[in-house]
């Protein structure tokens, strides 16, 4: 079982983003794919935000950069980043989030905090195994085994308890 934890609000986020970007360079180098300026910027924006962003929100941020980014270009960048495993798509939010373990291929679900919007990954192969076992029994063909759980993260719960 592999829980990608919620980051505490006080953590060194500058370093967090830097680490993620360095890791992305390595992943691309190893796979021989190119992290173009736009792809790089999209990933950086996702990491800077630290909570999922929709394609539309990304577009707005890129326009603020002074970039003439068009939706198809952004979708292509997102597609590339998804293929490299550098980001994940959070279906229920119709948004994207940076992955902190892109070197490792993994199926993932998400714990989504309703208060701060942060997301933690839930990678547990036994869940996926159980889904495929049950699907097989039902003769059901799974296309998207989406596991997305909403609630409150540890930091938001602690806040609530204090008041
Ligand atoms: Zn961070
Ligand atoms: Zn991941
Ligand atoms: Zn929270």
Residues 115-145 have pLDDT tens digits of 999 999 998 889 999 999 999 999 999 998 8
Architecture of domain 6-162: Orthogonal Bundle (1.10)
CB-neighbour burial class of residue 5 (10 A; exposed 0-12, middle 13-18, buried 19+): exposed
pLDDT at position 79 is 97
CA of 106 to the centre of ligand 2 (A): 6
CA of 10 to the centre of ligand 3 (A): 13
Q: Which residues pair with 87 in a beta bridge?
A: 98
Average pLDDT over residues 20-38: 94
Q: Is pLDDT of 38 > 80? A: yes
pLDDT at position 2 is 46
Q: Is pLDDT of 3 > 60? A: no
pLDDT at position 162 is 54
CA of 151 to the centre of ligand 3 (A): 8
The domain spans of the chain are: 6-162
Residues 47-92 have pLDDT tens digits of 999 899 999 999 999 999 988 888 899 999 999 999 999 999 999 9
Distance CA 33, CA 130 (A): 34
CA of 117 to the centre of ligand 3 (A): 6
Distance CA 92, CA 108 (A): 14
Least Cα distance to 118 among 53, 56, 61, 55 occurs for 53
pLDDT at position 111 is 96
Average pLDDT over residues 30-44: 94
């Amino acid at each position: 079982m592999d829980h990608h934890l919620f980051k505490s609000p006080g953590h060194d986020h500058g370093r967090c983003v830097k680490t993620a970007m360095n890791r992305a360079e390595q992943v691309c180098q190893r796979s021989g794919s190119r992290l173009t300026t736009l792809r790089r910027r999209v990933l950086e924006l996702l990491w800077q935000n630290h909570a999922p962003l929709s394609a539309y929100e990304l577009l707005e941020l890129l326009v603020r950069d002074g970039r003439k980014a068009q939706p198809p270009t952004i979708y292509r960048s997102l597609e590339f980043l998804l293929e490299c495993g550098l980001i994940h798509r959070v279906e229920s939010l119709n948004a994207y989030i940076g992955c902190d373990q892109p070197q490792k291929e993994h199926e993932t679900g998400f714990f989504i905090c309703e208060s701060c919007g942060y997301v933690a990954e839930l990678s547990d192969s036994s869940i996926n195994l159980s889904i495929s076992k049950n699907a097989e029994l039902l003769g059901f063909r799974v296309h998207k085994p989406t596991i997305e759980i909403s609630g409150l993260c540890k930091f938001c719960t602690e806040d609530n308890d204090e008041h």
